[in-house]
Structure 1
Amino acid sequence: MDWGKGILLTIIGFVALIMTLVVISVRMDGIELVTENYYEEEIKYQDRIDQTNQASSLDKEVISYDAQNKSVLLDLPNGSEAMLHLFRPSDSSLDQELAVSVTEIGKTSVSLLQLKSGYWRVKLSWNVDGVDYYEEKKITI
């Protein structure tokens, strides 16, 4: 075999490899954005920073995870209304949003037994006396 045929076969092999990788990447399922309304969330990001700073000024851990019982414990004031967002980065179809009403003094428990095991982000937003708060915790079930 001479040099010309070797170079030609190398180029053909390279093009075939690139085409195979393109076909594989186009057929992939499960490539998802972090959120459907990404641009709206980006605009509201400074509000989220302010709410996080408000929550950190409380000097207490609002969200804690009980691995033994597979539940999230929320330390919120009595009478609070909160939104709990259970976010699964690898599969948005598993995401859940729960409204939480605190009616008792002490920690409120939210069961996570129905969730698929793996990595989750627990996002909690609540309002007390007209002040918005936000806290996020990463957990592995």
Structure 2
Amino acid sequence: MNWGNGIVLVFVVFVAIMATMVTICMRQDDLHLVTENYYEAEINYQQHIDRVSNSLESTDNAMRFDKGKKTLELNLPVGASGELHLFRPSDARLDRIIEVSIEENTNRFLNLSNLSPGYWRVKLSWASEELKYFEEIKIDI
């Protein structure tokens, strides 16, 4: 084999590998954006910053996760209401949204054992006494 044939062979193999990689990438159908309404969420980001600031000024954490029992404890005041977003970064099809309303001091635990094992972000946004709050924790089930 001479140099010319070797160079042509290297280019042909390179093109074949690149065509295979492009084909594999184009056939993937499980690509997920962080949010569907990206631009709308970007415009409302200042409100999110205000909610996080309100939450940081509070002395107590709103959520506590017990890894052994796989339960999430909500430490919200009576009368608080909001939304709990269980966010799975690797697969948006597993995301869940749960409405939260604290009307008494009992039953503040959520059982998370039915979630798929792996990394989750738990986002809690709530309102209490005309102030809005936001807190996020990262858990591993």
1:98 aligned onto 2:64: no
Q: Does 1:8 align with 2:38?
A: no
- Corresponding position: 1:121 with 2:82: no
Judging changes above 3 Å, is the alpha-carbon distance between structure 1 residues 96 and 140 closer, same or farther for their aligned structure 2 residues? same
Q: Is the 8 A contact 1:73 1:107 kept in 2?
A: no
Structure 1 residues 11-22: aligned runs within 5 Å: 11-22=11-22
Structure 2-normalised TM-score? 0.94
Counterpart amino acid of residue 62 in structure 2: V
Give the match's secondary structure for 2:42. helix
- CA drift of 1:105 comes to 2.4
1:19-58 equivalences under 5 Å are 19-58=19-58
Structure 1 residues 69-108: Cα deviation after superposition (integer angstroms, max 9, x where no partner): 2111110001111210100111111111001111222671
Q: Distance in 1 between matches of 2:109 and 2:119?
A: 19
Measure how far apart 1:68 and its partner are: 2.1
Aligned to 1:86: 86
Cα separation, 1, equivalents of 2:54 and 2:79: 19
> Identity across aligned pairs (percent)?
45
| Deviation of the 1:111 alpha carbon | 1.4
- TM (norm. structure 1) is 0.94
**Which residue of structure 1 aligns with residue 139 of structure 2?**
139
Aligned residues: 141
